[in-house]
Structure 1
Amino acid sequence: MRAFIEVHLKLVMTIWIILASVLGLLYLMNYMKFNSLISGVVSSQLQVMSSSLERSIIKAEQLGLPLKEMDNLPELLQRSKSRDPQVNSIFVINLSGDVLFSTDQRWLNHDDKDAVLRKALKGKEISWTLEKDLTLYSGQQLFDSTQQLIGSIVIAYNKASYGSTVAQVKLHLLEMTVMIFMVFALLIFIAVRFGFGEVNSVFKLINQQLSARDNQTIHASLKPGSMAHEFARQISRSNEMKHQVESELDKISVSPNPSEGKNS
């Protein structure tokens, strides 16, 4: 039992910690990869929608219509919104951040407004994406014929639609990670327990400080060629040498001194 606690258990726990760290890292990487993947898919769909609206706006602008006078734009926005029920609203804003056209009377979430305006009007990306806790924002910057920025399209998408999917995948990943850990933890325990089984015999020999007679008895019961057998054989030889040395010392101590015999 002492050998198990001092050697086996420490070794097993060390391997378990390494295994848990590796599996935890893989779990985090897979979760982040899936979350990024599904966000990218949704963002691509929204960018297609905003690009379609942008082409319609540019065509009207090339005909000489100012952005705020495009009367058919609300209908186009509403039609695009109806294609995906998870789209909360679509906005067209000018350089000042004022809403010119919208499918919803409400403006953006107050906490997200400043970040969205920076991304839409001051960002370097023409097709941009901004992800928040509850909403995914995507849009397209609008330029006139002289390539001057005149505004931006903003699409607010409800993340709850794929948030539940991400949560389910996260749960499945966690279940699989725990299952893999349990299986490999059991295999590691069995491998270490039986693979280092000879350590038990060695510790017994050391801890019990076997006498020569006891050592011979256990030595005979051990598997020839094993580590414990070789260790027991070394102990036997050590005990034999010890007894020989003690016997020689006893003989020397009891033998008479020759010089004392002559003096007498």
Structure 2
Amino acid sequence: MRSIGPRDCWSTLPSADPVKATPFNAEENQMGTNELALAQGLKDTGETIAGWRSERWRVVGSWTVLSAAIAVGLLLAVYAVGRLSTPDETSLVVIGINRAPSLEMVGAILFRNSLVLALHALACVAGFIAGSALPLQAASKTGLWRTIHDRAGPLAILFVVCATGFSLLTQAYFLGSQAATIAAQLGLGLAPFLAVIATHAIPELTVLFLPLAAWIIASRRGDWHKLLAATFVTVGIAAPVLILTALQEVYVTPRLLGLLISP
């Protein structure tokens, strides 16, 4: 008689057939396909995080480089849109210039950035589900359900790509139009204005795009099973940085703009 294993809750019971009493069969009998996919996902996540500890700088560094490139690309797109936009005559609120800075404004910026971070984090989770969890579930399906599970993964990935691309385009258009209006309102050129804004915008955008960068790198390597771990790590890195950049945007950037405005 052979024990199934310490992780099996039935390991203390005698087995009538020692050949069939393996850990794999025991788990398969106790859990459905969904539970097995979840268990495998959690196992992959734990192993991924443990593996990253010895090469954390390489992993985070690759995300950061790609994320910073996306951030710079977005700012260049904002500049291009701003150059093509006609400034609105409506006066806009500029923190620290025509509106006193406050912690309430810091909270509003954090809330807005949290929504963007959540969107990009969900892209990571969707990639994990589509590229890792769904194929595991599809293996146990037949017929129409097998076809649905096989097609759902690529469709989910396509949706994430389209949603992210749409988000970047709308951000470039909105921020570019707003930048042109505020720069004209302050009597500044668009380039000097964006140069000052970039002091908080580049680190802010870089951490906001960390989940997206992790998604791109994992998808190119086929490491979909690592995306849930990437979600936890990137959000954990982004949260404190977003607090600092929100404080800088409210209390520091307006002072830098004031230096350009003053004669």
Give me the TM-score of the superposition, normalised by structure 1: 0.23
Of structures 1 and 2, the one with the larger relative CO (CA 8 A, separation 6+) is: 2
Specify which structure has the higher proportion of helix: 2
Structure of greater Rg: 1
Give me the TM-score of the superposition, normalised by structure 2: 0.23
